[in-house]
Amino acid sequence: MIEEKATILVVDDEAMNIQIINNALSKDYHILAAISGEEALRVARRTKPDLILLDIVLPDISGHEVCRALKNDIETKHIPIIFVTSQNRTEDELKGLELGAVDYFRKPFVVPLLQVRVRNQIDLVVKTRALEKMAWVDGLTGISNRRHFDKKYEDACKYAQRNKRSICLLLIDIDYFKQYNDHYGHAKGDLVLREVAHELEAGAARPLDLVARYGGEEFVILLTDSSETEGALVAEKVREQIEMLAIPHEKSLIHQVVTVSIGVTTSPADGVKFDHDMLLNTADECLYEAKASGRNTIVS
């Protein structure tokens, strides 16, 4: 949801046009401006505005090129673009819409029409985000679900390969959880899943990390841009934090509290394409080893 004012990036090489649009929209939105195509790309990538109003004729690259570049970038492809231009040829409009713009609006324009078109797009952004959130959140724990993890994991793998960075995966499984359910009941088990999920989210504090419910009583943490050492440190912190929650578990063979076992893997950092499934499988094998070697432990 957009809690504050939505941000709109206005791209136009004429100060007068920016002024007119600013006057029309600044009461309801936070307005950013760019006066060239390259500046538009820089500002869009840095600030991720909620909507872009894009001129076509610019001093460097055309608005069409800006649109193409933004739509080809996973970081910006979701941002809706409305062309606002004096180009009134059908082929320019067609090209703009084919490149993925949501609307095409001709200058000079009637201010209330611009305002209503912008408002409709921002309403759509808000609704889409609400739906995405529902589709990505696990109903029981409120953290990301498997679908969201799969998507983020794919993006993170691409990013890591392109930028020669490594990512870490932590697969986390609650120890003796079947016994917990058998002894305390499924409803209490659900509460434990919630508590553990929230603790994991608190533990992996960096905003770029993703904590998700991987399935049943298994969780996954995705650390972008992290070395093997950093991954192991986070894993140890998380293991300790869960143990420190001291949730009673009479049937656990470890100090009668809820604990977790963790498998950790790290991707290569040399930009070589790695097998995404293989990385997950290796984390799973490490987790299996952690279970075999007594639980409440980490294997990397």
User: Within 13 Å and on the Cβ side, how many CA atoms surround 85?
Assistant: 23
Q: Which is nearer to Mg ion, 57 or 130 (CB)?
A: 57
Closest CA to 79 of 117, 113, 41: 41
Interface region with ligand GH3, contact rule CB under 6 A, candidates 86-94, 147-155, 172-180, 268-276: 172-180
Positions 71 through 90 that interact with Mg ion (CB under 5 A)? none
Residue nearest to ligand GH3 (CB): 189
Q: Which helix (H) or strand (E) holds 271?
A: none
Contact stretch for ligand GH3 (CB under 6 A) within 44-52, 89-97, 122-130, 170-178 = 170-178
Indicate the residue among 161 and 297 with the shorter CB distance to Mg ion. Answer: 297
Q: Which does 100 bind (CB under 5 to 8 A by kind): ligand GH3, Mg ion, none?
A: none
Which residues inside 212-241 make contact with ligand GH3, applying CB under 6 A? Answer: 216-217
Of residues 44, 54, 169, 174, which one binds ligand GH3 by CB under 6 A? 174
Asked whether the beta carbons of 52 and 80 are under 8 A apart, the reply is: yes
One DSSP character per residue, 85-109 reads: ES---HHHHHHHHHTT-SEEEESS-
List 93, 217, 230, 289, catalytic entry:
217
Residue 57 touches which member of ligand GH3, Mg ion, none, C-beta under 5-8 Å by kind: Mg ion
Nearest to 235 by CA among 264, 214, 209: 264
In contact, 45 and 75? CB cutoff 8 Å? yes
Partner whose footprint covers residue 190, from Mg ion, ligand GH3, none (CB < 5 to 8 Å by kind): ligand GH3
Q: Which of residues 255-284 bind ligand GH3 (CB under 6 A)?
A: none
CA distance linking residue 97 with residue 220, whole number of Å: 39
CA distance 49 to 32: 8
Interface segment toward ligand GH3; rule CB under 6 A; list 1-9, 61-69, 89-97, 168-176 = 168-176
Q: Check residue 57 for interaction with Mg ion (CB under 5 A).
A: yes
Residue 13 touches Mg ion, criterion: CB under 5 A: yes
Stretch that binds ligand GH3, among 42-50, 95-103, 155-163, 179-187 (CB under 6 A): 179-187
Q: What is the DSSP string of 226-248?
A: --HHHHHHHHHHHHHHHHHH--B
Q: Distance between CA atoms of 135 and 239, rounded to whole angstroms?
A: 29
Is 217 assigned a catalytic role?
Answer: yes
Host H or E run for residue 153: helix 146-163
Question: Which residues 125-184 are close enough to bind Mg ion by CB under 5 A?
Answer: 173-174, 177
Say how many residues touch Mg ion, by CB under 5 A: 6
Cα dihedral angle (155, 158, 164, 165), rounded to 10 degrees? 20
SS3 36: coil
CB 156 within 8 A of CB 274: no
Is the preceding peptide bond at 108 cis, omega within 30 degrees of 0?
yes
According to DSSP, residue 13 is labeled S
Q: Which of 29, 83, 153, 176 binds ligand GH3 (CB under 6 A)?
A: 176
Q: How far is the CB of 173 from Mg ion (least distance, A)?
A: 4
Which active-site residues does the annotation give? 217
Residues forming contacts to Mg ion in the complex (CB under 5 A) are: 13, 55, 57, 173-174, 177
Residues in contact with ligand GH3 by the rule CB under 6 A:
140, 173-179, 181, 186, 189-190, 193, 216-217, 291, 295
